[in-house]
Amino acid sequence: MISKGRKLTDPNEGLLRRAFKKGKSSQILDQITNRSRASAAAFEPRKIDEALSVNVESPLLEARLPLTWSADPDRQYVARITVGDCIKQNLEAYHCPDLPKNPHHGHIWGLVEMRVIDEDQYERPSTLSRVRAQLYQTTPNQKQSDPGSRHEDAYCFAPIGKASPPTNRASKARLNTAAASALSITIRSLFCRLRPEAEKLAAPPVDLVALEVHRGARLVLDPYLDARRLGEVIKNLRGPRARQAESHQ
């Protein structure tokens, strides 16, 4: 158990959470509030964490440091919420310096407990991931030489595809050959990225055409199916009647 430190009670006190950028679009434009906010992933504690790490605003300002302090401007941005936001969600915020590395360090307690007690409650938008955080970003040019500089980054969404009339086409069976084969190649390359040693495999990890054949034959594939075993006839996929018949033999 780590020491909680000094409890923060001023509802206006700022708490700054670093989040990783992904291209230009990690910050999202909330369609309900029409404001930029951090994605849900920004306020996720790790499995090993007891609390969510943040920086506390007032010690940063006292030290004349920017709110984006300790964030890598090339890869990260900062989302600011307040102690008041935490209190509203039945969470507690503490200033607990991590000396000598980070005297401005703090923790938000309660999220991890929420995740353990009720996973769905943790996911609900009442949690911090949905607080309308202010977003700050130090541009690479500014680096961290400009204390207190705040820049709300404009959000840019990927261009939308040219859609034909919408229909109920949510099925692989409706993918045309070109898209299906491109997707098969894509999945193979993704598999290789996740597991570089898989490049040695001759066959693609998942073949959508094969998948479709299986589906047409009314076989149900399990998500835990090892992709390298595609093509093998796996006994437990034969269904209860087939298994019953086998056991009688």
Partner 1 sequence: MRRAPPQPEATQRVSTVPPPLSKVTPSVLTVAPEGERPDSPAALTERSVRVTLVEELRKALIEAIELSKTMVAEDEAAPINEQTYFYAVEVLAPLIIAMELPVPLILPLQNGGIGAEWHDRGMNIELRFRNPYHIYAVLEDAQGAIQPFHGRDPFLVQTLAALREVSTRASERD
In the bound complex, what is the minimum distance in angstroms from residue 148's beta carbon to partner 1? Answer: 25
* Residue 45, preceding peptide bond in cis (omega within 30° of 0): no
Considering only residues 50 to 109 of the shown chain, the ones binding partner 1 according to CB under 8 A are: 75
Write down the least CB distance from residue 103 to partner 1, Å. 20
Question: Quick check: 15 and 108 in contact, CB under 8 A?
Answer: yes
Task: Give the contacts of 109 (CB within 8 A, at least 6 positions apart).
Answer: 4, 50, 51, 91, 92, 93, 94
Which one among 61, 87, 183, 210 touches partner 1, defined by CB under 8 A?
A: 183
Instruction: Report the residue number, 64 or 218, with the smaller CB distance to partner 1.
Output: 218
Question: Which residues ranging from 202 to 241 are in contact with partner 1 (CB under 8 A)?
Answer: 205-206, 215, 218, 220-224, 227
Query: Residue 178 CB, nearest distance to partner 1 (Å)?
Result: 5
Contacts of 166 (CB under 8 A, 6+ apart): none
d(CA 199, CA 247) in angstroms, rounded, equals: 39
Return the residue of 61, 65, 87, 175 that touches partner 1, per CB under 8 A: 175
Across 39-160, the runs of DSSP E, i.e. the strands, are 52-56, 76-82, 92-95, 105-109, 134-136
β-bridge mates for residue 20, sequence order: 76
Cβ proximity to partner 1: between 8 and 134 the closer is 134
| Interface with partner 1, residue 242, by CB under 8 A | no
Q: Rule CB under 8 A: which residues touch partner 1?
A: 20, 22-23, 25-26, 28-32, 39-41, 44-47, 75, 119-120, 123-125, 157-179, 181-183, 186-187, 189-191, 193-195, 205-206, 215, 218, 220-224, 227
